[in-house]
Amino acid sequence: MAVLDDLSGFEFEDLMEDVFRNLGYENVHQASKTADEGRDVLMEEVVDGTRRGVVVECKHTGSVGRPVVQKLHSAVATYDFAGPKRGIVVTTGRFSKPAREYVERLQANGDPHPIELIDGTDLREIADEIGLDLYNGRIEILCDETLRPYDPSASVAAPVEEAFRDIDNLDTETLPEPHSQVSFRPVVTITADTNAVFETSVGVIHRINDRTQFVAHADRGHPSVAEESVASLVAQNLHTTVDVGDERIRSTFDEVDDHRFGQTQTEYKEWAVNRLREHHTTTVTYTGDNNVTYNKECEPNLSDISVQSIEPVYLPEVRHTTHLEEYTYPYEYYAAGPSRVTTDDQIHGCVHCDTDGHDGSYTYCANCGAIACPSHTKTERLEQDPICTGCAVTERFALKTKYFYDEENLAAFREEYDEMALHQKAMENTWLVGGGAVATVLTIVAMLVVAGVI
């Protein structure tokens, strides 16, 4: 893999920061530039319950000699860390024989500040072991784990069947099998610490000491922060992932769509740092020594923010499509086993108007397959079953509009209506009958008043 040789010095240091973070080291960050424009990586590790500081020297060169190793050994010895310390020299090339002999001698003498050497061959093997690929001078995320796209204890169509249970006049047992598709959407869970102190001549005016965890959609294009419900779904189910290539997934869904992570790990880290800088930036008002009030914008530096982990995982986006007579009803959600976050629900809505939502009442029209709101749902006169206004045949009887499945039903009712007695025909419009009765009573009362009876 020749890409290592194509990196600039700074790109190599960025790369190593990501590599060590993926190896499980903590508080991984780059130190400030030194006079020779090199940037060491500082980090910590916990071994047998003891926290140890680690200083890394990155050398993007063909060969590293003994002086570099000796210099790092001195830097480790003087590194201000309350606990044991060690050093690592990592290079894209190789180490000279004197350099390796120097490290071996430190180990043989039981030196308190041991040094580890990682050459280009070792680095490529490490990248393979932690599932990362060197790409364009950065680390591209390669992930094969996903949250569960369905609940293994239920059928894959169980969520859409549950959604249809809220619809009146619909027997879910007679529902056709929906077309089921799953798309594996890349997301990253980022954990970062922000530690910043802002001082003026009067002392500390603002302090930030915060650990932030957030989930970001990681498709192609600019990353975006997931809404709270989606972030909770991911965070609460990271421990129950399965292999995205599981053959059971392929055989369960009608379609399976894979997506790649759109950015490199370094780009996600830089995006997270910039987002946190913006999030924590605030204006502080304070009083100076001269009793004058000042406003100061407090913006964390890049070095104030340390990304502790970037955890990639696929988030299944499941889409069921159910065909009922003349209509199609998509139902889409992010899945994590039995848990889900709905993103598109066209079941709980009216096909004839813009009303939608779980608070409404919706009724299924078996005549055409429509799901309609109360304003667009009527009772079919002949069969007394629900029918929507979109497919109903109408005609007025006793000044009231009646709704029918089709012309045949309408003709049958015409015959029935013609044979009705007058009072039965009148009852086809109860409002008309009720209004007539009220008018009659009022007329009688008025006549009695005029006659002086009451």
Mean pLDDT of 124-136: 72
Phi, psi values for residue 171, rounded to 5°: -90, 110
User: What whole-number distance in Å separates Cα of residue 314 and Cα of residue 293?
Assistant: 51
**Under a CB-based contact definition with an 8 Å cutoff, are residues 64 and 89 in contact?**
yes
**What is residue 258's predicted lDDT score, i.e. its pLDDT?**
83
**What is residue 138's predicted lDDT score, i.e. its pLDDT?**
59
**What is residue 38's predicted lDDT score, i.e. its pLDDT?**
40
**What is residue 453's predicted lDDT score, i.e. its pLDDT?**
61
User: What whole-number distance in Å separates Cα of residue 89 and Cα of residue 112?
Assistant: 17
Most confidently predicted of 58-62, 112-116, 448-452: 112-116
Sign of the torsion angle spanned by Cα atoms 54, 57, 60, 64: negative
**What is residue 36's predicted lDDT score, i.e. its pLDDT?**
45
Specify the pTM: 0.71
Range in 4-13, 190-199, 297-306 the model is least confident about: 4-13
Mean pLDDT of 424-452: 63
**What is residue 89's predicted lDDT score, i.e. its pLDDT?**
95
Per-residue pLDDT band at 247 (split at 50, 70, 90): confident
Residue-averaged pLDDT of the chain: 88
Torsion of CA 223, 229, 230, 234, to 10 degrees: 120
| pLDDT at position 447 over 70 | no
Beta pairing class for 41-47 and 50-59: antiparallel
416-426 pLDDT, tens digit per residue, is 999 998 888 88
402-412 pLDDT, tens digit per residue, is 999 999 999 99
| pLDDT at position 283 over 50 | yes
**What is residue 69's predicted lDDT score, i.e. its pLDDT?**
94
| pLDDT at position 449 over 80 | no
What lies within 8 Å, CB to CB, of 438 at 6+ separation is none
31-40 pLDDT, tens digit per residue, is 875 544 345 8
What the block records as the tokens of 285 is 């008002």
**What is residue 2's predicted lDDT score, i.e. its pLDDT?**
44
